Amino acid sequence: MSGVGSGYPLTRQPIDLGQHLQLKNRVYFAPMGIDLARDGCLTDDMFAFYRGIVEGGCAMVVLANSAIDATTRLHEGGLCLYEEKHAEHLAPLIDYGRQHACPVVVQLQHYGSQGDLARSGGAMLAPSRLPGKRQPGVRVMTHEDARIVCNQFGSAARLAQQAGARAVQLQASNGYLLSSFLSPYSNRRIDRYGGSPLRRARLLLEVIEAIAEATQGGVDISVRLGIDDCLGDKGQQPALLEQVVPALERAGISALMCSAAIRETFHYMLKADPKVHALLVHGVRHIRELTALPVGFAGFTGSLAQAEALLDLGVADLVGMSRALFADNDLVNKSLSGKANSVNACRFDGNCFRDKSNPNLDRVYCCVNDKYKRPDSIRYD
Ligand SMILES: Cc1cc2nc3c(=O)[nH]c(=O)nc-3n(C[C@H](O)[C@H](O)[C@H](O)COP(=O)(O)O)c2cc1C
Ligand code: SF4
């Protein structure tokens, strides 16, 4: 394999994302909620975790899910971004990323109907009700709710900007509020927010506008786009996004980072499966054909050789890795310096995902990385 300074020529190429981010290579840490925050604030443990990722050689870190309001939180250890103290705790990490040529992007999240019922005050927002399903605490959004949500996203983006961020990412995948509006599975509305792909995208477009206004264009806005619900014809699919992607580009976003699956189909993302990988590859390539924006791929990329192959095939402009960089923070540096053989490989067993819903755990661990070793008492089949 390659020596220092050679090998992985496409991965090594810098790329600009929007007006504010210059990335030194094509690999980024895709958002991964490890649940180490306290009271919604970044902690020393969390800082240490991201320091490891920043120092490992990737070009950008996307900080997982920052809840934009107290009524939309999920995990106790999740980040929040609706009070000054949240921004104050975030600032040192954003500064650290900047100093180490690894910009930190803040992902903004409204959990919608997948939030926490108790914290939501009994009103988890959704575009519509799912026929035949009991959905306790779910409330169909009114136009006034949409206005409030746009303001919440705008305020959260302003707090991110105050913390020094030059870019935010909207979580519009995995069945949370923005993606639930985009998908025909969860959005059965017939008003201005539903009925066609473009109308289903209206809330996302209004949120983008609200952020641009609140930050006076001072932060780049990327979108984590759920391109496939993995429900076949019943759900979101790349073909349904053919008008939506150009509309997002016209709205001025800086990049599209693709994701797939929703709560009902999340098992597809647990373990590496060639069929799911192929669906992702075809889907992301299709999205890339619809736009001149940089497009990111994420899903089961376990090595820089695989990232290079995805770039070479023209599937995406950037490759996100979550689990592989969790398993070995130094994967990028090791590989670029000719030491790919010493990478501590992710098993893609999905156990870190399982930690998130394990009632006996309040954070995420890894099977192969001693720094984040799961307690021996916790075993999965
Ligand atoms: C423990 C865990 C937490 C995650 N949290 C988030 C999140 O907060 N936001 C998000 O957009 N994706 C999240 N993801 C999805 C990842 O960004 C990524 O799309 C997925 O894990 C597939 O990439 P990988 O195979 O490189 O891990 C999470 C994944 C894992 C394993
Ligand atoms: S827990 Fe398993 S799937 Fe998750 S990062 Fe570690 S080895 Fe990979």
pLDDT tens figures, 110-140? 999 999 888 888 889 999 999 888 888 999 9
Percent with pLDDT over 90 in the chain: 88
**Is the CB of residue 298 below 6 angstroms from any atom belonging to ligand 1?**
yes
Q: How many domains, the chain? A: 1
**Per residue in 242-258, pLDDT tens?**
999 999 999 999 999 99
- Note the ligand closest to the C-alpha atom of 78: 1
Tens of pLDDT, residue by residue over 213-233, are: 999 999 999 999 999 999 999
- Which of 270, 273, 328, 352 is the pocket-test mutation for ligand 2 (most atoms within 8 Å of CB)? 352
Q: What is the pLDDT of residue 316?
A: 98
The string of pLDDT tens digits covering residues 150-168 is 999 999 999 999 999 999 9
How far does the chain reach from its first CA to its final CA, in angstroms?
36
Taking residue 214's Cβ as centre, other Cβ atoms within 10 Å add up to 19
Q: What is the pLDDT of residues 63-115, one digit of tens each?
A: 999 999 999 989 889 999 999 999 999 999 999 999 999 999 999 999 999 99
Ligand 2, atom 8, residue with closest C-alpha: 346
CATH number where 99 lies: 3.20.20.70
pLDDT (tens digit, 9 = 90+) per residue, 172-217? 999 999 999 999 999 999 999 999 999 999 999 999 999 999 999 9
In a domain, 25, yes or no: yes
**Cβ of 260: how many Cβ atoms within 10 Å?**
26
17 pLDDT above the threshold of 60: yes
Does residue 354 belong to any structural domain of this protein?
A: no
The pick from 105, 173, 322 for probing ligand 1's pocket by mutation, whose C-beta has the most ligand atoms within 8 angstroms, reads: 322
- Residue 248 in domain: yes
| pLDDT for the residue 3 | 42
What distance in angstroms lies between residue 352's CA and the mean position of ligand 1's atoms? 10
pLDDT at 166: 97
**Alpha-carbon separation of residue 233 from 229, 238, 266 (angstroms):** 9, 11, 17
Structural domain range at position 254: 15-342
pLDDT computed for residue 381 by the predictor: 78
Half-sphere CA count of 25, side-chain side, radius 13 A = 25
Compute how many other C-beta atoms are within 10 angstroms of the C-beta atom of residue 234: 11
Rounded CA separation 140/130 (Å): 10
Model's pTM, two decimal places?
0.96
Task: Give the helix ranges, DSSP H, for 163-273.
Answer: 177-182, 197-200, 202-214, 244-250
Q: What is the pLDDT of residues 333-351, one digit of tens each?
A: 999 999 999 999 999 999 9
Q: Give the closest ligand to the alpha carbon of residue 361.
A: 1
